[in-house]
Amino acid sequence: MALGNFAVGIGSLVVAGVLQPLADDFNVSLNAIGQLITVYALVYAISSPLLIAFTGQLDRQCLLIIGLILAALGNGLAAISPTYSIMLIARIITALGAAIFTPVASTLAALISEPSDRGKAIALVFAGFTAATALGIPLGTYVGLTFGWRITFGLVAFLAGTAVFAIVAQVPTKVEAPPVDLSAFWKVLKNSTLLMILIVTLIQLAAQLTLFTFITPYVQSRTDLGTIGVTILFLTNGVSGFFGNLWGGNLSDRIGARKTILIFLLLLIVAFVMMPLIENWLWVGFLASGLWGLVGLGFNAPQQTRLVTLAPPLASAILGLNASFLYLGISLGSTLGGFSVRQLSLDSLPWVAVCLTAACLLVFAASYWAEEKLIA
């Protein structure tokens, strides 16, 4: 399941690394290419709960296979897209595959693990996504900038297809999972505490994607970094994120999910404040990128653990909605990033990210207080 998330993760975010080549080939603006991330995220966010509800009677392994096949087809179409419109369709197909695969994999990890190990199990499956950020996206960026973005998407399609065989060989079948219907999602959304926690997911991802979507032009506008330098910057962020994800799961099991989330949000602000210093001190920018990856991707495991622990019978619906809010955050972040670039400048992006993370802390504080009342 981690391998499947690796393929899905590369396909979801690699556009950020090849913005300029895509814009040049399709003769559109950087903002238009950024919208490929926005549309992907919106399709994922809207379709994921519906797909999970309408396929609730299918075997979990079967759903994972369907999701990966759609991801492979979408990335394959992206690799041969002759126009921006066809690329948009390819991104929609890819998003539908991810919308099935990722929440089902997280739910299955929670179901087949002991409660005391739930954080580590979810972190392990999500490690595939963080590994995509650590290795896949930097490699995809390098390949795309050196040999062409079509090769990048072709390789992602091949990887997703290969992951199907791993799912067939290793993932158990006929795992007992609570049935999920649309009423389960409504129960989650009606719960004000759970809703606030989901909004924390949304704002935190929006803060990150505001900068991440345009990180390549942002860094190249302030430094002399070329293809290799930008690739190493992505690698620094991604490798840190890989270990941050595992650390987040373990730390959550030791000190609790809420304390872990609070620490990570505070450190995320520090990382964004440090990022503009890359212009004068390159090493500080790389340090900021590493810290950003560590806590930004480390956030997911404790956040999912917190949600599942509050309402175990609604685990499938909660994790499905959490994935939707995650991608709504990606959509909002890429949109706000594009708006900030147009109305302000590339230089404004880290500070917009700081403001969003501060707002996230306020929502987290409200959810903390509400959860305390719920437990009491």
| Per-residue model confidence as pLDDT tens for the chain (376 residues) | 888 888 888 887 788 778 778 888 898 887 788 788 888 888 888 888 788 777 767 777 888 889 999 999 999 999 999 999 999 999 999 999 988 888 788 777 777 766 666 667 777 777 777 777 677 777 777 888 888 889 989 988 998 998 888 888 877 677 666 666 677 778 888 888 888 889 999 999 899 888 888 888 888 877 877 777 877 887 887 778 778 877 887 788 888 888 888 999 999 999 999 888 887 788 888 888 889 888 888 888 788 888 877 777 777 778 778 878 888 888 788 888 888 888 888 888 989 999 999 999 999 988 888 877 655 4
Contact indicator for 130, 301 with CB cutoff of 8 Å: no
pTM: 0.73
Query: What pLDDT is recorded for position 17?
Result: 74
- The structure tokens listed for 170 are 């290793």
pLDDT at 90: 94
How much is the pLDDT for 360? 93
The domains of the chain, with CATH numbers, are 2-375 (1.20.1250.20)
pLDDT score at 70: 94
Alpha helix segments (H runs only) across the chain: 2-13, 19-26, 30-54, 60-79, 84-111, 118-131, 137-147, 149-170, 182-190, 192-212, 215-222, 227-255, 257-274, 282-298, 300-310, 315-343, 349-375
User: Which two tokens mark 26?
Assistant: 């399709």
What is the DSSP-derived secondary structure letter of residue 201? H
Cβ(205)–Cβ(297) under 8 Å?
Answer: no
- How many Cβ atoms sit within 10 Å of the Cβ of residue 342? 11
The pLDDT, as a whole number, for residue 179 is 60
Q: Among residues 276, 328, 268, which one has the least CA distance to residue 47?
A: 328
Which pLDDT belongs to residue 147?
86
